Amino acid sequence: MKVLVIGGGAREHALCRSLSLDPDVTALHCAPGNAGIAEVAQLHPVDAMDGAAVARLATELEARLVVVGPEAPLVAGVADAVRDAGIACFGPSAEAARLEGSKAFAKDVMAAASVPTGRSYVCTTPEEIDKALDAFGAPFVVKDDGLAAGKGVVVTDDIVAAREHALACGRVVIEEFLDGPEVSLFAVTDGRTVLPLRPAQDFKRALDGDEGPNTGGMGAYSPLPWADPKLVDEVLETVLQPTVDELRRRGTPFAGLLYAGLAITGRGVRVIEFNARFGDPETQVVLARLRTPLAGVLLAAAEERLADQPSLVWRDDAAVTVVVASHNYPGTPRTGDPIEGLADVVAQDAPHAYVLHAGTRLADDGSTVLSAGGRVLSVTATGKDLGQARERAYAAVDRIRLDGSQHRTDIAREAAEA
Ligand code: AMP
Ligand code: GLY
């Protein structure tokens, strides 16, 4: 089948890599892509946010399946435009993607479906904000209601900073602080049947030891040796299935990837957030462990046939991914620097470790790869356990040279030592 992937980050590179290894995929296209995706897919300079242009491209290419990666096009209705053109699309409608696009909407769905989450208030006035901050006390959790590219959430002990962020948001969700390790659990769903993937853990802070500012994610690993083996079943039963059922009941079924961001608190599992797409960088480690060819699963979800899909098959391997970011990320990143050592990783670390590109582009010479964003690339590695996967990932990271770049050195360390 011919497949078109929309987006151009490391998540889309991971998706394209898996799809390119799937014997059922006869042609792979990506728009807009990046310098790494260009090695496995044909790129098209089409704006991911332009639903009509994406649908036109999919029609021209005679794509059997379109996979929309990032949240912004989903919330903007790009999946709807593709489906309206009669082409199967993996990714929720704009209505269903509000689960990620509006924190207040997500809270409303969770309340209706009795899904465990932090208590919260939706506030629009300074009076409501002060009342909510007083009610919960420190640490304060203040979330912009809308999409904010990972910058909408402030967790702080400082009431002045909390109030300032809340006032700047307009509509804001103020929430109880949830203490405990975080888990990302993804599920593929066709709006009725829910197929959970393997859990992963993400590292959100920029610096070692979970210091520094929040980022889009600096690394991830899977499996989670410390997690309760019943976690996935429990989350399926108490979180994923009820949420999918509630959205179907409302007449806006969610078909695509449902991402539950969870806190494992002393009082049980709580949802921190939902996302309407694969997470980055967790996708890199989850897909590295998936043995079942990906295209058939995504197509079955897009065509409401997941109930007939055989169980997913997983490798025993562990996987670790380490993000290499530009100088100054998550502030305004420095870009345009050459990235060296990529060929050394291919020569010395493949197939156990490989590079997935995020913010990269090809220089005019057609061969030099340049940095072009905050998160530049992620190195993903597999191994018999987390320790071996970590060693392989960091060996490959050490071969990559990008002036001023930064990465965390403690991804999966604690879990590997446990
Ligand atoms: P989000 O943008 O919703 O993924 O939130 C970013 C990060 O903020 C999460 O990964 C958590 O680390 C933290 N966070 C969000 N909500 C809470 C909460 N209620 N309690 C504690 N930390 C939170
Ligand atoms: N890794 C966090 C996210 O994708 O939102």
300-321 b/e with 16+ CB inside 10 Å = b? bbbebebeebeebeeeebbbbb
38-44 long-range contacts, Cβ below 8 Å, gap at least 24?
A: 38/362, 40/13, 40/16, 41/5, 41/16
Mean pLDDT of 322-329: 97
At residue 399, the pLDDT reads 97
Cα→Cα distances 54→13, 49, 58, 201, 371, Å: 18, 8, 6, 32, 26
Q: What is the crossing angle of helices 10-20 and 282-289, to 10°?
A: 10
Taking the CA of residue 11 as reference, the ligand 2 atom at the shortest distance is 4
Rounded Cα–Cα distance for residues 411 and 389 (Å): 11
pLDDT band for 152, please (50, 70, 90 cuts): confident
The CATH number of the structural domain formed by 318-417 is 3.90.600.10
DSSP letter for 176, please.
-
At residue 220, the pLDDT reads 98
Rounded Cα–Cα distance for residues 388 and 320 (Å): 9
Give the binding-site residues of ligand 1, using a 6 Å CB cut-off: 118, 141, 150, 153, 155, 175, 177-178, 182, 204, 214, 261, 272-273
Beta carbon of 282 within 6 Å of any ligand 2 atom: yes
H-only helix segments in 113-190: 126-136, 159-169
Q: Which of 1, 4, 87 is nearest to 42 (CA)?
A: 4
Q: Which of 223, 150, 250 is nearest to 418 (CA)?
A: 223
Mean pLDDT of 338-342: 97
Mean pLDDT of 74-97: 98
Which ligand places an atom closest to the C-alpha of 147?
1
To which H or E segment does residue 140 belong? strand 140-144
> Residues 211-235: pLDDT tens digits?
998 898 999 999 999 999 999 999 9
Rounded Cα–Cα distance for residues 246 and 251 (Å): 9
Which ligand places an atom closest to the C-alpha of 186?
2
Q: What value does the CA radius of gyration of the chain take, rounded to a whole number of Å?
A: 20
> Residues 87-136: pLDDT tens digits?
999 999 999 999 998 888 999 999 999 999 999 999 999 999 989 998 99
Mean pLDDT of 244-266: 97
Candidates 3.40.30.10, 3.40.605.10, 3.40.50.11540, 3.30.470.20; correct CATH number of 180-308? 3.30.470.20
Q: Which of 280, 375, 397 is nearest to 330 (CA)?
A: 375
Which ligand places an atom closest to the C-alpha of 144?
1
Task: Report how far ligand 2's centroid is from the alpha carbon of 152 (Å).
Answer: 13
pLDDT band for 171, please (50, 70, 90 cuts): confident
Contact 389, 318 (CB under 8 A): yes
Indicate if the pLDDT at residue 381 is higher than 80: yes
> Residues 270-294: pLDDT tens digits?
999 999 999 999 999 999 999 999 9
At residue 150, the pLDDT reads 60
Mean pLDDT taken over the chain: 95
Report residue 206: phi and psi, to 5°.
-70, -30
User: HSE on the CB side for 333, CA within 13 Å?
Assistant: 23
Which residue type, as a one-letter code, is found at position 186? F
Contact 47, 317 (CB under 8 A): no
Task: Report how far ligand 2's centroid is from the alpha carbon of 261 (Å).
Answer: 9
What are the residues whose beta carbons fall under 8 Å from the beta carbon of 370, sequence distance 6 or more? 35, 335, 336, 337, 338, 339, 360, 361, 362, 363
Cα→Cα distances 202→215, 223, 403, Å: 11, 12, 25
Fold classification of 120-175 (topology level): Dna Ligase; domain 1 (3.30.1490)
Taking the CA of residue 204 as reference, the ligand 1 atom at the shortest distance is 10
pLDDT band for 31, please (50, 70, 90 cuts): very high
Taking the CA of residue 150 as reference, the ligand 2 atom at the shortest distance is 5
Domain ranges within the chain, ordered by starting residue: 2-90, 120-175, 180-308, 318-417
Report residue 242: phi and psi, to 5°.
-60, -35
Mean pLDDT of 50-76: 97
64-98 b/e with 16+ CB inside 10 Å = b? bbbbbbbbbbbbbbbbbbbbebebbbbbbbbbbbb
Taking the CA of residue 118 as reference, the ligand 1 atom at the shortest distance is 19
Instruction: Name 401's bridge partners.
Output: 340
Per CATH, is 2-90 categorized as 3.10.450.40? no
Q: Which of 360, 368, 308, 306 is nearest to 333 (CA)?
A: 360
At residue 233, the pLDDT reads 98
At residue 214, the pLDDT reads 86
Beta carbon of 202 within 6 Å of any ligand 2 atom: yes
Indicate if the pLDDT at residue 149 is higher than 80: no
Mean pLDDT of 259-277: 97
Indicate if the pLDDT at residue 4 is higher than 80: yes
To which H or E segment does residue 323 belong? strand 318-325
At residue 294, the pLDDT reads 97
Instruction: Name 340's bridge partners.
Output: 401
